């Protein structure tokens, strides 16, 4: 799917353009909300691409911002209509991280640090099912099935024949040693990680415990880059509400942090050797 055909990306582009028009008019989001008799959070959500915007709302905002060119108004309203289309993941059921999946689908590259688990794009089916089942309290069988299906369908993005995703992953040793599901499931996951990490568009590096404290101790983060965007988006996963950072001043520190993590981590070849040793230890621990 072309990047500009992604509904999530279209919403965020439209929101960014509406924010630019508002600032050019010298208005705050609170002032806009008061004049249109709507809530200020709604304006923020529209500008952040967190919710779909109706063409009628675009028309009202353009009138408030003094946009007189009918071609510009028509273009923005058409973008609103196209942004309201549903992504493939919607058909799977209720997906709490739908915004992230939309961004992931459109990204040209992702740099990710994971301290506790193997990231979704690199998980085996058994590992994915175990992660969902063991990390969501009181999860129903249906919820587990939906999340597992979505997680596995996301794999195709990493290997799209026409537009492969460039993926850099740095893993803390804890993510490699934490036994998820069972020793056999974990061993198969580690072996799969080595196979997939050998592909030219995927780079996997491990940070051993012996490194000590490092820039990633504060937690997981991902940086998504897009082919037609000057700055990327930082994604911070949280249990109830994820966080997205898009200002250059917010994204830059995470880019620097990731560079430092890569420098502290084992290189890809030594990482594969390290993962092999961990898998062998699991095998030896399970032998009679």
Q: pLDDT digit string (tens) for 84-112?
A: 655 544 544 555 566 777 788 778 899 99
CA atoms within 13 A on the CB side of 15: 22
Is residue 135 one of the residues assigned to a domain? no
**Cβ-Cβ contacts under 8 Å for 185 (sequence gap 6 or more):** 124, 126, 127, 130
Distance CA 265, CA 169 (A): 11
Torsion of CA 19, 72, 232, 2, to 10 degrees: 140
Q: pLDDT digit string (tens) for 137-160?
A: 777 777 777 777 777 777 776 776
Whether residue 274 has pLDDT greater than 70 = yes
The lowest-confidence range among 128-137, 147-156, 274-283 is 147-156
Is residue 280 one of the residues assigned to a domain? yes
Is residue 282 one of the residues assigned to a domain? yes
Q: pLDDT digit string (tens) for 201-243?
A: 999 999 999 999 998 988 999 999 987 667 788 988 876 567 8
Do 105 and 72 share a structural domain? no
**Token pair of 53 as six digits:** 């915007």
Domain CATH for 217 = 3.30.870.10
> Which domain does 105 fall in, by range?
96-123+153-286
Domain count, the chain: 2
Is residue 91 one of the residues assigned to a domain? no
Do 20 and 108 share a structural domain? no
Do 105 and 210 share a structural domain? yes
Query: Last residue of a domain, which of 29, 59, 85?
Result: 85
Instruction: Decide which of 207 and 128 is more confident.
Output: 207
Q: What is the mean pLDDT of residues 52-73?
A: 87
Whether residue 23 has pLDDT greater than 80 = yes
């Amino acid at each position: 799917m072309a990047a500009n055909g992604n509904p999530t990306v279209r919403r965020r582009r439209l929101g960014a353009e509406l924010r630019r028009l508002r600032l050019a008019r010298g208005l705050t989001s609170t002032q806009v909300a008061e004049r249109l008799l709507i809530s200020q959070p709604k304006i923020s959500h529209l500008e952040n691409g967190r919710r779909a915007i109706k063409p009628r709302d675009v028309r009202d905002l353009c009138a408030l911002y003094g946009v007189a060119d009918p071609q510009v108004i028509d273009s923005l309203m058409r973008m609103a209509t196209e942004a309201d289309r549903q992504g493939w993941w919607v058909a799977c059921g209720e997906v709490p991280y739908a915004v992230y999946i939309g961004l992931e689908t459109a990204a040209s590259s992702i740099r990710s640090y994971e301290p506790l688990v193997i990231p979704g794009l690199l998980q085996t089916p058994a590992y994915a099912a175990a992660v969902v089942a063991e990390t969501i309290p009181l999860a129903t069988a249906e919820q587990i099935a939906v999340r597992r299906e979505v997680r596995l369908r996301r794999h195709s993005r990493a290997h799209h024949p026409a537009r492969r995703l460039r993926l850099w992953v740095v893993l803390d040793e804890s993510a490699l040693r934490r036994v998820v599901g069972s020793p056999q499931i974990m061993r198969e996951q580690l072996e799969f990680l080595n196979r997939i990490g050998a592909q030219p568009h995927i780079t996997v590096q491990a940070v051993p415990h012996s490194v000590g404290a490092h820039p990633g101790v504060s937690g997981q983060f991902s940086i998504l880059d897009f082919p037609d965007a000057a700055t990327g988006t930082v994604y911070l996963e949280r249990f109830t509400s994820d966080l997205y950072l898009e200002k250059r001043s917010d994204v830059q520190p995470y880019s620097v942090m990731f560079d430092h993590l890569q420098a502290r981590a084992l290189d890809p070849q030594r990482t594969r050797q390290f993962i092999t040793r961990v898998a062998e230890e699991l095998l030896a621990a399970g032998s009679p």
